[in-house]
Structure 1
Amino acid sequence: MPVDVPQPPAPPAGPQTTPERKSSVAVLDRPAADTPWVTLVWNDPVNLMSYVTWVFQTHFGYPLARAEALMMDVHTKGRAVVSTGTRETCEADTEAMHGYGLWATFQKDD
């Protein structure tokens, strides 16, 4: 006696199409550039102003006048934006500032 074996459904009638591939580059739903992010250094009661100036010169390569201006922003305004760039760059700069003993954070710039 033959056994009835279920068959897969028949393909839909009509023309079959396949998606067109326009390029070999994947496109993600995200902004074109991952910028701007900022690294902030915050005022603290521990580090000397001369040390903070030295850190800005040493790590970022800022000239003395720029490093002193940023240090004064930290001292008088409570914080200063010391670098801008991609998230990865600002995260690395923040970790470097922690390595120097400074209080620092990074965030997306508004």
Structure 2
Amino acid sequence: MPRLMLTDERWEILYKAMLSSGRIYDKPAHRITMEGILYRMRTGLPWRDLPKEFGCWSKVFRRFNLWSSKGVLSHAFNTLVDSEDVEWLFIDGGVLSVLINMEQGQLLQRPKI
């Protein structure tokens, strides 16, 4: 099993911030999906190479796109930045540019070869 990033305490904080966006419903599978997203952001590996422990890579990818386009991730990160406990947050320039472009209704895609 790949190393996970979210303790139970941190997941509760993040999940409450995600739910407060009003754009997702309460579902236990969201935690492993978020772990998959964070793992992918931390390692930079292609979505298709995501370890199976996080579930089907395409489901994790689709959920990332959905949450990004609905502003769920931006809302959660903005909520967490405003909180007192920010030591565990990280943001990668690539992730930030994806979130910004998705909020503007643009999806950046690699050119097909």
The two structures have a TM-score, normalised by structure 1, of 0.36
Query: Which structure's residues are more often strand, by fraction?
Result: 1
The structure, 1 or 2, with the larger RCO (C-alpha pairs under 8 Å, 6+ apart) is 1
> Which of 1 and 2 has greater Rg?
1
Higher helix proportion: 2
- For normalisation by structure 2, the TM-score amounts to 0.36
